Structure 1
Amino acid sequence: MAAKEQESRLSLKLLIDEKRNRVVAAEAHKEFVDILFSFLTLPMGTIIRVTSTGEAKNPVTIGCMNNLYHGVEKLSNENWGTELCKTIVLHPRNPLGYFCQNLKVNIDDSWSNTNYLCSRKCCLMRSWYLNLRCICGAKTNMRTTDMVNNEGAFLQKGRTMFIISDDLQIRPACPILLAQLLSNLGLSETDGIREMRVQVSKDQVICLLARSLVSESPLSDVFLPNPTKHDTKLPKPEIEITLQTTEQNEAPTLNLQVTLNKSTNKILFAKATNEFFDFLCTFLTIPIGSIIHVFQRSLGLGGCLNNLYASVEELEDKWIGSSIKSAILNPRITQYHNCKKQPLKLDELIENENLIDPRPNENFAAEPSLFIVLDNLDVKPLSSASSFLILRELKVAFSDIEEQVITVGMNEALSLLKAALTSPSSALTNGLASFLQKKKQEA
């Protein structure tokens, strides 16, 4: 047991500004950098699961995403097409798990190279899950194991050192870069800088992931007691990126019936079809790298994941292959983890053409179904009892309630996703109210 625990740690050298009690930089080999890059491949559902439950010692809240995750978690099996549909949403498979399996410390257990073949071997159909029904009628119950990746994770082989700033800007190490970093932090000499070696555990990697979502000093937060908060960092690239508008007819659209408070223009709740519920479920199956890709780094998510993303983007091909770099920057959604009508037009990563879809009719939810989605993205099955309780809890006069229908296309979907990630309590209002106002002005 002790040997196994030792294998799950790796060494990291920190440079500490003793006067200000902060990490000014870390020096690390590729194994630690690979772990940081793997954060971008994690689906949002996995990020919430590992940073807010179980092993996470310092839970974080990511906008309204935690509400969505736990609302979905509470839904009974009768609300799903099959029990596996719920499993897919709450434990989404990492699309780049093939590479992540060789991480020195891997916090994601969603990927496995185990497959199940059709018992009749009728057409080489296979599944990630036991006892799915093949197109021939037989079940997938013959276990098989695919070849594993033994080539390392993302970075090229070698013992090159990398410099990592406290806000996760990563560059190949060189004295000039380190001198620039120290200078930008107001340090004119190495006096007062001490070296500290730490053995990074799985729990600390989970904490690093959590802090990278909300803090601009995750290394200090995780490895130092009571770190000093500071604003100075490596200079960021001066890039002005705006979100490109997309014509509505270029992507599928969904109708969403919302109930709002007329006095405040605040959306109280929405009545969602199974198609819109499936779309919300994909918020949990999208890797964070693909989310940043969709928003072209203009998302405004707290923390320093944008720095991490830019570090991958700017790394030369001699350190990381161009195809692997492209995959990290846009991992895409794992096969069969998308919805039938996707306004965001997100692509799936097709792993195997002979893979059996575990979802009946390509849906997560049982069909037909209706759900109540609260402003904070908590989801409940629609019933007269739940509707009455919601109205009573909201304490809004019936005369001050109005229904409208929003057509959710690409722009509305992007706005809702951004609000889900950044708004602590009012994702529907912050994401969709502006579209309501436009409709009222046009009327």
Structure 2
Amino acid sequence: MGSKPVHLKVFVDKKKKKVMFAEAEQDFVEILFSFLTLPLGTIARLSSKHEATKDIKVGSLNSLYESVKNLDNKHFSNEHCKIALVNPNSSSLSLCEMLKVNLNNMKSVDASVSTVSHSNLVFFKKNASFIVTDDLNVIPVKLDTSITLLNFLGVEYIDLLEERTIDFGLEEFSSLLKWSLVTNTPLTNLVLGETNPRSWSCSCSSCIKTSTTSNLPLISSFSTQRQTVKLLIQKSKKQVLCAQAGNIFVEMLFSFLTIPLGNVKRLTMDNSSTTGIDNMYNSIPSLGDGKYLKSDEVKSMLLCPKLASNYLRVTDLLPVYDKSISQGSFLKEQATYIVSDDLEVTFSPSISTISKFNTLGIPVGDVEVMEVSIGEQEALLILKASLASTSTLTDCLSSFKNAKSLI
């Protein structure tokens, strides 16, 4: 695990304290693209392992993942269900095993013993060099695009930038993955040791439009299934304290952990999405024109990765399953669960939950019970918010339709 076979050359503006861009070979970019094949459960597991970014939360994903780990085994249909959530399988595992650093199973493969032929190419058809911007736009090295990019960044003389070569192994790629989900300056945060997400006015996607996702088909199941959930809301702050929900809603939340990141982005990304992972996702279509990516199948695997074949259809609230997949469930018998604002799922009596609110100084008179109906649209809103917010239910509250107060 100590091998660090992948290198990245970064160019730093010391005055601005910012990585302006990086120069990468195809092996680095392939591992970068493999982020999209990772199930959200794998991302949650990786993001909690490394001290450098341990305090940075990937929305509510970490809380959801930890609650699954902590939930008593007796609530699951069998012992394999819980394992399939905390250690989710990837449909792209066999291909990603050929990468020099495979985040899917957390093993680092030395180039000398790799089973890949043709210079260890996995996603690409030939060796190539790329510019990777701080906000993770990936651009092939060409004279015209390089000059356009440098002019936009205000870089008149590359020699004035500090050049560093960074060795990337499992820990570095895991940290980059986490930063890419929470900021649009992931390279700066990683390379310069920033501990908090930064915002930066420059979005290189605005100066070099490498691709568009507007032509990607959004698959919808057109499911009519809906689930009623009761929300306990602190009226004075208009904040969701928790939800009281049954199996259908909780199965949907648990299924988040099995969905590959690329599929999540396909279903939820819009013009307001500005993190590094969004920019990287948008870089891929232009590389699939036959010049760089091996095939349309590889392009589809990155932009729309499928769930692993061992997962049955546990919810009809999300359009992520093939219609031919049999119905299944992670949970055993019907029960009532408490879901916190940051998606922590617990099996708890209602009285103990109310006592917890009192301990926090929230009087019963300040608590309103609201009933909301969750369908496919609402489920996708929750999925999107789960990667960006630690108050997922509150952030989605105004978008829930057919909400009615019960008090």
Asked if Structure 1 and Structure 2 have the same fold, meaning a TM-score greater than 0.5 normalized by the shorter chain, the answer is yes
TM-score (norm 1): 0.77
Deviation at 1:420, TM superposition (A): 2.1
**Residues 227-306 of structure 1 mapped to structure 2, 5 A cutoff:** 230-236=200-206, 237=209, 250-262=223-235, 265-295=238-268, 297-298=269-270, 300-301=272-273, 303-306=275-278
TM-score (norm 2): 0.84
> Who is 1:129 aligned against?
none
What secondary structure, in the 3-state scheme, does the structure 1 residue paired with 2:151 have? helix
What secondary structure, in the 3-state scheme, does the structure 2 residue paired with 1:368 have? coil
> Who is 2:45 aligned against?
49
Greater Cα shift, 244-253 or 80-89: 244-253
Q: Deviations over 1:365-393 (max 9, x none)?
A: 12122211122212110325633433434
Is 1:311 equivalent to 2:283 in the alignment? yes
Deviation at 1:253, TM superposition (A): 2.1
**AA in 2 matched with 1:187:** V
What secondary structure, in the 3-state scheme, does the structure 1 residue paired with 2:91 have? coil
Match of 1:176 among 130, 137, 144: 144
Partners of 1:110 and 1:252 lie apart in 2 by 37
State percent identity of aligned pairs: 29
**AA in 2 matched with 1:333:** L
Deviation at 1:402, TM superposition (A): 4.1
**AA in 2 matched with 1:222:** L
Q: Deviations over 1:197-244 (max 9, x none)?
A: 232222111111111112222223222356997533424339697999
Aligned in 2, Cα 1:69/1:21: closer, same or farther, shift over 3 Å? same
What secondary structure, in the 3-state scheme, does the structure 2 residue paired with 1:73 have? helix
> Who is 1:121 aligned against?
none
What secondary structure, in the 3-state scheme, does the structure 2 residue paired with 1:317 have? coil
Deviation at 1:338, TM superposition (A): 5.4
**Residues 121-200 of structure 1 mapped to structure 2, 5 A cutoff:** 152=120, 154-200=122-168
Aligned in 2, Cα 1:434/1:390: closer, same or farther, shift over 3 Å? farther
Aligned in 2, Cα 1:96/1:348: closer, same or farther, shift over 3 Å? farther
Aligned in 2, Cα 1:349/1:91: closer, same or farther, shift over 3 Å? farther
> Who is 1:344 aligned against?
318
Whether the 8 Å contact between 1:102 and 1:150 is mirrored in structure 2 is: no
Partners of 2:194 and 2:348 lie apart in 1 by 46
Partners of 2:106 and 2:10 lie apart in 1 by 31
Whether the 8 Å contact between 1:68 and 1:377 is mirrored in structure 2 is: yes
Whether the 8 Å contact between 2:371 and 2:403 is mirrored in structure 1 is: no
> Who is 2:336 aligned against?
370
**AA in 2 matched with 1:422:** A
Aligned in 2, Cα 1:394/1:157: closer, same or farther, shift over 3 Å? same
> Who is 2:2 aligned against?
5
Q: Deviations over 1:241-260 (max 9, x none)?
A: 79999999634322223333
**AA in 2 matched with 1:418:** K
What secondary structure, in the 3-state scheme, does the structure 2 residue paired with 1:298 have? coil
Is 1:406 equivalent to 2:372 in the alignment? yes
Whether the 8 Å contact between 2:76 and 2:332 is mirrored in structure 1 is: yes
> Who is 1:145 aligned against?
none
What secondary structure, in the 3-state scheme, does the structure 2 residue paired with 1:281 have? helix
> Who is 1:334 aligned against?
308
Aligned in 2, Cα 1:263/1:200: closer, same or farther, shift over 3 Å? closer
**AA in 1 matched with 2:99:** L
**AA in 2 matched with 1:435:** F
Aligned in 2, Cα 1:230/1:245: closer, same or farther, shift over 3 Å? closer
Q: Deviations over 1:142-183 (max 9, x none)?
A: xxxxxx876756432422111211211112112332222221
Q: Deviations over 1:64-101 (max 9, x none)?
A: 22221122221111121122211111111122112111
**AA in 2 matched with 1:232:** C
Deviation at 1:277, TM superposition (A): 1.1
Q: Deviations over 1:42-78 (max 9, x none)?
A: 11111111112x2352222122222211222211111
Match of 2:346 among 380, 388, 392: 380
Aligned in 2, Cα 1:281/1:32: closer, same or farther, shift over 3 Å? same
Whether the 8 Å contact between 1:92 and 1:110 is mirrored in structure 2 is: no
Is 1:40 equivalent to 2:36 in the alignment? yes
Q: Deviations over 1:327-352 (max 9, x none)?
A: 110112222435433212212599xx
RMSD over equivalenced CA pairs, Å: 3.4
How many residues align? The count is: 389
Q: Deviations over 1:14-46 (max 9, x none)?
A: 233354443322222211000100111111111
Aligned in 2, Cα 1:402/1:18: closer, same or farther, shift over 3 Å? closer
Partners of 2:191 and 2:116 lie apart in 1 by 31
Whether the 8 Å contact between 2:374 and 2:400 is mirrored in structure 1 is: no
Q: Deviations over 1:376-413 (max 9, x none)?
A: 21211032563343343454444454434322111111
Partners of 1:303 and 1:18 lie apart in 2 by 23
5+ residue gaps, structure 1, are 112-147
Partners of 1:35 and 1:283 lie apart in 2 by 22
Greater Cα shift, 16-25 or 408-417: 16-25
Is 1:88 equivalent to 2:84 in the alignment? yes
Partners of 1:184 and 1:329 lie apart in 2 by 28
> Who is 2:395 aligned against?
430
**AA in 2 matched with 1:374:** S
Greater Cα shift, 316-325 or 217-226: 217-226
